[in-house]
Structure 1
Amino acid sequence: MSVVMDPLVETVILLHGTGRSPRSLAALEKRLTGAGYSTCNLAYPWRDRDIAGLAHFVADALKAKGLTGPTNKLHFVTHSMGGLVAAYLLGTQRDRLAAAIGRVVMLGPPLGGSEVADALCKLPMYRWMYGPAGQDLVTTSGLLDNIRPDYPLGIIAGTVGWPYLSGLIFIREANDGRVSVARTRWDGMADHLIMPVTHSFMPTSPHVQAQVLHFLQTGTFRRP
């Protein structure tokens, strides 16, 4: 007699960026649920811990919600620093999840840090505003030096820097106002897409949302 295995319960985990909350991903979450996905739009204490500590918090939160067992499959959609948290979590604490990992989409992730953080990280105001994780955003942090994605990863980078004056001043190449296109790239990623969007408004762009859905469904972004 053959044994019929129950299908995995699939959930898209949404992780917001620094200075943000799950509300910043509400429109994107609505688009995902409208396409039939279950979601978990997770709040985390971005100001209180470094990236390693935030990854640990997220793992604990997902376990508390019953999403980390062997009958679960987790996809991730992240914005800004949320991508760094997910990258570190999946690269160093995968065993704590004990769930299958599906596809991952990151919007404007500072995987290679940001020149804006380089310029401002020693200022008391910056340290107060961004907390310990702010020091992990510099281009020399080396946080992901020994980590590579072993899951299908799609990254979207923006090229509209205005109205971020800090980006215009400190980043000399194509950027979204916070992160350069080059520093969103990561060896081992499955796909990388450049779009004319600014950093903060990526999650609310209908065109970005459509690309997120396309990657979750197919493992690639849509090209003309």
Structure 2
Amino acid sequence: MVNIVSQIECVCRGKRNKNIFASHLILLLLLTGCKSTDSGPVQYKANDELVVLAHGLGRSDWAMRYFAQQLKRARYKVCSLDYASIGQSVKAVLLQTNKQINACISNANKIHFVGHSLGGLIIRAYLQNNSVVLNSNKLGNVVLIGTPNKGSELANHLNGSWLLHIAGGVSQALVTGDNSLGNTIDELDINVGVIAGTKASLLTQSYFNSENDGLVSVESTKLNNMRDFITLDVSHTGMRYNQQVIQYTLNFLQTGAFLSPTRRTNTLY
């Protein structure tokens, strides 16, 4: 994997060709992926609170391992989804994750959801399609981290390419516009907080016209009915390991807000 990354960097430095970089970036996801942690079933006690944790495109539950560890340190039970997304249709991915989430939350008394990138769309789609959970008093808070709720301009650039074709229906559904996966999901009346990154990448910046995390624009992460919103100087990939992101996620899970009222500023929105 190190050799592949090195080749990509050499191509980008030598030819200054961002189209080649974008193509290699998708190819890297196709060739590598992540190892699954293959975690066992979650056992619950009466006062336990569960967090269903969803990873992003081309990843596995391994990608959220550090995040899961921090949630467990805060005394949450964690059920990490592990689903295939590259080469998969939207229907297939939603079917996979629907079954996994149902197994996760069985017998849980309080259920929170945290999703990074595509994982946030998986969570929104699950709640839309499962009204019993949506309307249950067991449903807690939801945090979406770098989620392309309105699609990604980078996906627009790759749209129609052979790489996006073999990447599958889910990848193709991450374009912006009416056909974007995020725009086909209802905005539900739930306690949802949104975290957006503002640390852009020089390699993808030309595809964006506004603040972004290298893959998703800040505007794309926003929902009309979000209860809270915050931007942090972190990249899309870095969100999974960033202590500020983790702390603000914990704050929202515990209180329904990223910051206490006394710490709020006008720069949050």
Per the shorter chain, which TM-score range? 0.7 to 0.9
Cα distance in 2 for partners of 1:105, 1:146 equals 16
Q: How does 1:1-224 map to 2 (within 5 A)?
A: 7=46, 9-65=48-104, 67-68=105-106, 72-95=109-132, 100-128=138-166, 130-140=167-177, 141-143=179-181, 144-145=183-184, 147-163=186-202, 165-166=203-204, 168-222=205-259, 223=263
Structure of greater Rg: 2
- Give the SS at the match of 1:58: helix
Cα RMSD over matched residues?
2.2
1:151 and 1:98, CA in 2 relative to 1: closer, same or farther beyond 3 A?
closer
Per mean C-alpha deviation after superposition, the further-off stretch among 48-57 and 109-118 is: 48-57
Cα distance in 1 for partners of 2:52, 2:254 equals 15
C-alpha distance after superposition, 1:124-172 (max 9, x if no partner): 11222x3110121011225434611221101100001125x13x12111
The answer to whether the Cα contact below 8 Å between 1:112 and 1:139 also exists between their aligned partners in 2 is yes
Cα distance in 1 for partners of 2:224, 2:68 equals 28
1:46 and 1:94, CA in 2 relative to 1: closer, same or farther beyond 3 A?
farther
Output the TM-score relative to the length of structure 1.
0.87
- Give the SS at the match of 1:104: strand
The answer to whether the Cα contact below 8 Å between 1:17 and 1:81 also exists between their aligned partners in 2 is yes
Matched pairs, number: 214
Cα distance in 1 for partners of 2:235, 2:185 equals 29
Cα distance in 2 for partners of 1:205, 1:217 equals 19
Cα distance in 2 for partners of 1:183, 1:204 equals 21
- Give the SS at the match of 2:237: coil
The answer to whether the Cα contact below 8 Å between 2:128 and 2:188 also exists between their aligned partners in 1 is yes
1:84 and 1:117, CA in 2 relative to 1: closer, same or farther beyond 3 A?
same
Q: Which runs of 5+ in 1 are unaligned?
A: 1-5
Residue 94 of structure 1 deviates from its aligned partner by 3.5
Q: Name the one with the larger strand percent.
A: 1
Percentage of matched positions with identical amino acids: 33
Per mean C-alpha deviation after superposition, the further-off stretch among 98-107 and 75-84 is: 98-107
Partner AA of 1:217 in structure 2: Q
- Give the SS at the match of 2:49: strand
The answer to whether the Cα contact below 8 Å between 1:27 and 1:204 also exists between their aligned partners in 2 is yes
Cα distance in 1 for partners of 2:222, 2:191 equals 14
Q: Name the one with the larger helix percent.
A: 2
